Structures are given as C-alpha cells and as structure tokens.
C-alpha cells in the first residue's frame, strides 16, 4: 500500500480522471474581465497616476493615453500571471471557500499543479479580505439587532503536512464534548472568536493553546461593518474578561437562552460549521489558517445575505486595486 486513502474523494477523483467532469469557466472569465476593465476606466494609471486608462472589449490590453502604458487588464491583480484563466482562479477560490474540498482535491479537479492552485487561492483570498468591507457597505441591506460574540474551544490544525490520526482512539481531547479534536504539533492550535449580527459573520482565528479569547477585535470589526453596534450578547465567562464592553454586554450564565431571551446560538452554530471546514487545512501554515478562518466569515456573510458570485468578483477586484498602487 502506498499513501493512505483519504476519507472522501477517491471515487470522485476517478470520475475526474475518466474525463466525466468538464470545466468551462468562459462565462466567469468574461465576467471578471468586464469588471476589471470597468475598474481600469475609473482608476488612475499605475505608471503616471493620471486617470487616462482606456479599454476595449476586443483586446486584453489596456492603454494609458498619457504615458502610453499598455499592460494586460490583469496587471497588478491576483489574476496576473497565474497560468490560470481568471474564471478558473475564481472557481478554485469558490471550491476552497464554499465547500469542504481541500486544495489537494481541487488541484486534480482543475487538472492543475497543487502549487499553482495554492498560490492563486492565497492571492485571491488576500484581495477578497481587502475588498470585502467596501462591497459589504454597498449592499442593499440593514444589519441590526444584537451582536452575539463567543469564543470556540480550541481548533487544531495539527500534524502539519501529514494525515491526521486515522484511529479515533489516538485522538486527543475528549469526544464527550461533541467536538472531535486531534492534537498536533505545539503551536498549531487555533482558538476562534466570532461575532454574529444579522447576516454578518466575523471570525478571527487566534493562534495558541492558552489563548484567552480577546473578543475586542471581532467586536470592533463587526462594528465597522454594521454601525452603529447595539447590544453585545456573550456568555458570563467572556463578560468577565471584557470589562471594556460591560456597559453593552448582556451576561447570561445559562447554556442556551436566558430568561431575557439572550443567547449566543448563532455563534455556536457558526463554530459547528467552521470547525469541520477548517479541518481540511491541516497542511497550512498558521498564518494560512488564521486567514482561512477569516475567509469563512466573509463567505458565510455573503451567502447569508443572498449574494451571488458577482459579489466575490467585486471583493476581489476592489481588493486587487487597493493593493496595486
């Protein structure tokens, strides 16, 4: 026997190898090209700084009338020199962010090298993070009600570059909690902190096994994305630690719902979704894991707000241009 079989995907992989699954990203390629060119028309030239860039439908070159700069429309964005069509970059990111497929499964699905897909996803992810606040603020929606804030148990990326233990008896932690954890190399453990308000989900992954949840960063981010922030609901343990927010923190000690109807069920539900999703990243670096946790919040928010792939394209494009100057 060679490498161990993963728990899922072997049959799917066989179908891919048989050529059953054909990928056609032409419509996505076109959508990304259209959005990028729209942005070029409204942004300043990266070489001379004048807002003089013109584009045409028929060519992938754009042109600055002032300094004669003539790059391709992907210049300075995560789509540039990726050896993948723009739509495929976006497809890779969607499969990564919105399914339980790992990059190890996505790469053969696209028929691309792991490194190529990994690099594309990382760049797209960073751009989406930069662009999301702008796109979120432009959506036609009202975010109100209380913000539920909670800290997860520890999440472990574990066993960097290796398969997790296959025998459940070798798992660390307690299965009685209902959270299956496996212990990895020291330093690979992650604690999640989340804020949920309406359709907004903010997740921050904090490295460490002794991390005592600092809720302030996610509360701040939730406030930035949904001002003004109203009541913050959290549990008693958290409230003790967060003296700075006590004037708007509703404390409850019961596990589920307090007599006043205060609860953090949304946050707990979010953790139950994000934990199995994060388990597919066992090969990632700790920075990659923290970034991935944050990505989950962004994609979950857009899904809960009934937003389409177009909004991810917008996040990406806006984020790309925020970086390119």
User: Residues in the site for Zn ion, rule: CB under 5 A?
Assistant: 45, 47-48, 64, 66-67, 69
Q: How far is the CB of 68 from Zn ion (least distance, A)?
A: 7
| Cα–Cα distance measured from residue 270 to residue 248, given in angstroms and rounded to the nearest whole number | 22
Buried b (16+ CB within 10 A) or exposed e, 71-87: bebbbebbbeebebbbb
Q: How far is the CB of 144 from Zn ion (least distance, A)?
A: 44
**Closer CB to Zn ion, 53 or 101, in the complex:** 53
Work out the angle between the directed axes of helices 265-278 and 286-304 (0-180°, nearest 10). Answer: 130
Q: How far is the CB of 53 from Zn ion (least distance, A)?
A: 7
DSSP state of 74: T
| Cα–Cα distance measured from residue 115 to residue 258, given in angstroms and rounded to the nearest whole number | 49
Helix, strand, or coil (residue 41):
helix
For residue 154, give both structure tokens.
Answer: 């520890």
Q: How far is the CB of 69 from Zn ion (least distance, A)?
A: 5
**Closer CB to Zn ion, 44 or 104, in the complex:** 44
**Closer CB to Zn ion, 62 or 202, in the complex:** 62
| Cα–Cα distance measured from residue 196 to residue 202, given in angstroms and rounded to the nearest whole number | 6
Segment holding 53, helix H or strand E:
strand 53-54
Q: How far is the CB of 66 from Zn ion (least distance, A)?
A: 4
**Closer CB to Zn ion, 66 or 223, in the complex:** 66
Q: How far is the CB of 127 from Zn ion (least distance, A)?
A: 23
Which whole-number Å values give the CA distances from 179 to 137, 152, 165, 174, 210, in the listed order? Answer: 35, 10, 15, 8, 18
| Cα–Cα distance measured from residue 195 to residue 270, given in angstroms and rounded to the nearest whole number | 9
**Closer CB to Zn ion, 12 or 69, in the complex:** 69
**Closer CB to Zn ion, 48 or 251, in the complex:** 48
Q: How far is the CB of 324 from Zn ion (least distance, A)?
A: 13
| Cα–Cα distance measured from residue 254 to residue 298, given in angstroms and rounded to the nearest whole number | 29
**Closer CB to Zn ion, 46 or 164, in the complex:** 46
Q: Which residues, in sequence order, are bridge partners of residue 250?
A: 233
Q: How far is the CB of 51 from Zn ion (least distance, A)?
A: 9
| Cα–Cα distance measured from residue 275 to residue 293, given in angstroms and rounded to the nearest whole number | 9
**Closer CB to Zn ion, 47 or 286, in the complex:** 47
For the CA atoms of 142, 302, 137, 129, the dihedral, rounded to the nearest 10 degrees, stands at: 150
């Amino acid at each position: 026997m060679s490498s161990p079989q993963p728990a899922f995907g072997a049959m799917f992989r066989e179908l891919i190898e048989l050529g059953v699954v054909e990928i056609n990203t032409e419509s996505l390629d076109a959508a990304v090209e259209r959005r990028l060119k729209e942005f070029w028309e409204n942004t300043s030239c990266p070489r001379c700084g004048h807002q003089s860039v013109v584009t045409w439908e028929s060519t992938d070159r754009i042109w600055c009338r002032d300094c004669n700069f003539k790059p391709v429309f992907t210049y300075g964005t995560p789509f540039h020199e990726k050896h993948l069509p723009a739509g495929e970059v976006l497809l890779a990111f969607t499969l990564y962010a919105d399914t339980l497929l790992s990059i190890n499964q996505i790469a053969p699905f696209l028929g691309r090298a792991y490194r190529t897909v990994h690099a594309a996803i990382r760049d797209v992810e960073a751009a989406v993070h930069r662009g999301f606040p702008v796109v979120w603020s432009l959506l036609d929606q009202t975010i109100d009600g209380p913000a539920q804030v909670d800290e997860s148990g520890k999440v472990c990326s574990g066993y960097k570059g290796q398969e997790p233990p296959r025998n459940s008896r070798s798992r660390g932690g307690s299965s009685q909690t209902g959270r299956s954890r496996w212990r990895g190399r020291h330093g690979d453990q992650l604690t999640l902190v989340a804020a949920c308000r309406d359709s907004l989900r903010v997740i921050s992954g904090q490295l460490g096994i002794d991390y005592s949840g600092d809720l302030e960063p996610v509360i701040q981010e939730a406030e930035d994305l949904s001002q003004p922030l109203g009541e913050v609901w959290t549990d008693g343990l958290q409230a003790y630690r967060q003296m700075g927010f006590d004037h708007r923190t509703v404390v409850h000690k019961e596990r589920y719902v307090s007599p006043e109807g205060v609860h953090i069920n949304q946050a707990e539900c979010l953790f139950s979704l994000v934990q199995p999703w994060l388990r597919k990243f066992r090969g990632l670096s700790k920075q990659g894991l923290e970034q991935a946790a944050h990505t989950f919040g962004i994609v979950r928010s857009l899904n809960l707000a009934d937003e389409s792939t177009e909004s991810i394209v917008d996040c990406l494009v806006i984020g790309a241009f925020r970086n390119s100057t």
